[in-house]
Amino acid sequence: MQPWRFLCACDMQPGSPRSFRYAAKCRENWYTALEQLRDEEAELLIVGGDLTRDGSIHDFELEELQAELGSLPYPFRAVPGNMDTGNKHTDIAHLKSHAQVTGEQLDRFAQVFGELPWSFMHRNVRFSGIYGALAGSGLPHEERMWQWLEEELPALPRADHHVMVMHYALFIDELREANWDLTNPDENTAWYFCIDEPHRSRMFAAMQASGVEIVLSGHIHCRRPEQVAEGVRFFKCAGIAFPQWADRWPDGDPRLGYHRFEVSDAGISETFVPLPVESASDEGYGPGGHPSVDQRDYSLAWEPPPAEVLD
Ligand SMILES: [Fe+2]
């Protein structure tokens, strides 16, 4: 077989100077990555979520990324992230658990980027995508995800390899680790980044039943070298907009960039491709986090906001 390549990019979330908030460095880093991606000789790009900074609020951010990713010389397929569709659910009220994913936000993402979950074959690889943070939400979309994972996906034709992409990491340190405690300040970031039990084991069992070999995730913005757990290869992917959690793991790599995978008769091998330069800009405006409606001041915008957000 002639070797061929696919790519994985996550967390570009450039934001927009037409928004109520903006950080120039995120957009600069995305455009650096976009030009790099344009020069890749790849057949496919998998996007691991957080395409936008506020796509969960702004259709225009979703549409902008659809156009930019669509301008690449090869096709792409994306799963959403929490900035596109909302955060992981819990009943515990906390700074890290508001702005939870809604069905309406998922439907808006699907209108621009296609139905979720998805699975397709390219050459000898099956690619599948879910939004794992739906687990525990109780949304009809969650029921659909489980039915698809447990009944439909295992029945699809097998390929030589199966690659699954999800925005949240399935786990932080170890596949069978205990749940992280949202109410514990030392653990709430870990809670925010991964999938809780019992959903994690249920998801992993479904992946194993479908022959998943590689799991790609974003969200953390700190790359970690490949981890193998119970025979499955996990890649915590680099971010593109900005780095996070640089000191969490001794082997964590906060450099920005994306991942190149080469498929050959020997299997699938991965190479991290760092951005050649990371923006040092501190220009921008507006609040961080997940601000409520009354915290969004569009009069700060550097460029005219779309009429739809001013209604
Ligand atoms: Fe995220």
Tokens 């955060």 appear where? 87
Question: Cα of 81 to ligand 1 centre, how many Å?
Answer: 5
Question: Cα of 256 to ligand 1 centre, how many Å?
Answer: 15
Per-residue HEC secondary structure of 224-272 comes to EEEEEECCEEEEECCCCCCCCCCCCCCCCECCCEEEEEEEECCEEEEEE
Give residue 308's pLDDT: 86
Question: Cα of 89 to ligand 1 centre, how many Å?
Answer: 14
Say if strands 214-217 and 161-166 run parallel, antiparallel, or are unpaired: parallel
Question: Cα of 48 to ligand 1 centre, how many Å?
Answer: 9
Give residue 235's pLDDT: 98
Give residue 292's pLDDT: 83
Average pLDDT, the chain: 96
Question: Cα of 211 to ligand 1 centre, how many Å?
Answer: 26
Question: Cα of 192 to ligand 1 centre, how many Å?
Answer: 9
Measured over the CA atoms of residue 128, residue 267, residue 72 and residue 20, the dihedral's sign is positive
Give residue 296's pLDDT: 92
Tens digit of each residue's pLDDT (9 = 90 or more) over 38-94: 999 999 999 999 999 999 999 999 999 999 999 999 999 999 999 999 999 888 887
Domain range annotation of the chain: 4-310
Question: Cα of 22 to ligand 1 centre, how many Å?
Answer: 17
Question: Cα of 225 to ligand 1 centre, how many Å?
Answer: 19
Weakly modelled stretches of the chain, pLDDT under 50: none
Question: Cα of 100 to ligand 1 centre, how many Å?
Answer: 12
Give residue 293's pLDDT: 82
| Residues in Cβ contact with 270 at an 8 Å cutoff, skipping those fewer than 6 apart | 226, 235, 259, 260, 261
Question: Cα of 270 to ligand 1 centre, how many Å?
Answer: 22
CATH architecture of the domain with residue range 4-310: 4-Layer Sandwich (3.60)
What is the pTM assigned to this prediction? 0.97
Tens digit of each residue's pLDDT (9 = 90 or more) over 87-120: 998 888 877 777 898 999 999 999 999 999 999 9
Question: Cα of 11 to ligand 1 centre, how many Å?
Answer: 7
